[in-house]
Structure 1
Amino acid sequence: MGDPRKYIFHDMARWALKDHPFMFAHIQGQPATAKAIKVPLLILDTFVRFKSNVDVIHITNATKKDQVHKEREKLSADMCLTTQGTKSIKTMDYAEATSMLKIARRESS
């Protein structure tokens, strides 16, 4: 039997794809469950299965950024995902994300 979370990610991807092209989500759950490593991979995999070119940007604390990126790289090699070799997740800290949003806002004005 497949992963029951598959349907949650399927519904989330459909929600993100039908609405505004710039969406935010917050990963909430118990500490120490590797959700910051696993969930973005599963979200990106779902978007790729939908044949979407959506980019996934994961924003985390600056102190955790490098560790999250390294652990995600290790895990993605072990998981059987359709995203392997196609797209990657951009990981940035809050300061980088804020700068990116400010630049985007200036360019769109």
Structure 2
Amino acid sequence: MMHMIKDACDWFKELKKKDFQFLHCWRVLRGTRKWEDYVEKKLAKRKGNNDSNDSGAHTSDTDSPREIPKPMGRDKAKKMRSSGATPTSDPDALSIFQRMAESSEQKQ
């Protein structure tokens, strides 16, 4: 895989006469569903095929992109704070904060 990335960077340098500056961004985004959808759309457009439903057939279960949950928006967070509701979008974070509070109480 690294060899392919190096080849792609070399190819980019040949075409643009400068190094690819966003490799760190690509490493973060490459496994996300949004990136995969974007790539599929670009490939379908390039091929002139608007039906990209069959393009996922080449991926296996182990190659599926990791899903990164979308963070809560500013307005929704403000509304929840004003109503006194607890955030239910991430119950793991809530349990972590509860354990942190319990451990600090035990230390005192």
Q: In proportion to residue count, which structure has more helix?
A: 2
* TM-score normalised by the chain length of structure 2: 0.23
Q: In proportion to residue count, which structure has more strand?
A: 1
Larger-gyration structure (1/2):
2
Report 1 or 2 for greater relative contact order, CA contacts < 8 Å, sequence distance ≥ 6.
1
